[in-house]
Homo-oligomer: A and B are copies of this chain.
């Protein structure tokens, strides 16, 4: 048995879904071109308008994909957790990034040149199918999100965000505390509201004993209630 490089062992163990689809010869080329980068909290990973050159894979930490809109307001489009892939869509569309990505907390990102990824997609059907599924899932989520963000009221939007955070990043050992500590501003940008209203609505939820808040630690006490609020008013 040959000794594996650290990079290759990461590919094999962390990115197994992707790695398992490759032929032996492909694995060699991919491993050779695989790079790892660290990003500090709040550091920008890529910006709108830049040329998409890398397929990225979040190995550790949390990342937000967002878009700056009118009047300095920003909208969080989706959240990335380990191990998820991002940064590839714009390349497939042959256009510059229309979104930006930043680390919510310090993050480790593995990356591969998109040119190489494309090359392998064109040869390897399993890999192509992998991206078809990824894109289909993201598109479904994006379409649903459009309606949620435009039609629900503030309370419903925030309730939904809290549930999304739980589904996405899970909870701590107590089974209640959200495993992500977000600034109120990010919570607002995720829920399409102003920071003041995010704070205000969190307070309301606390008063109604639906959640407890301690700084950025949020516990979901009454999930059933939150679901109802998310669904209706």
Contacts and interface: CB of A to CB of B under 8 A. Distances in A.
Nearest to A92: B136
Given A93-B133, A128-B129, A135-B135, A67 B143 contact: yes
Interface string A216-233: 000000000000000010
A70 interface: yes
Nearest to A135: B135
Interface of A: 67, 69-71, 73, 75, 77, 89-90, 92-93, 95, 98-99, 121-123, 125, 128-129, 131-133, 135-140, 142-152, 156, 192, 232
17 contacts: A70-B232, A71-B151, A75-B146, A89-B139, A90-B136, A93-B136, A93-B137, A95-B140, A121-B129, A122-B129, A131-B132, A132-B135, A135-B139, A142-B142, A142-B146, A145-B146, A146-B146
Going nearest first, the 3 A-B pairs with the smallest beta carbon separation are: A128-B128, A92-B136, A135-B135
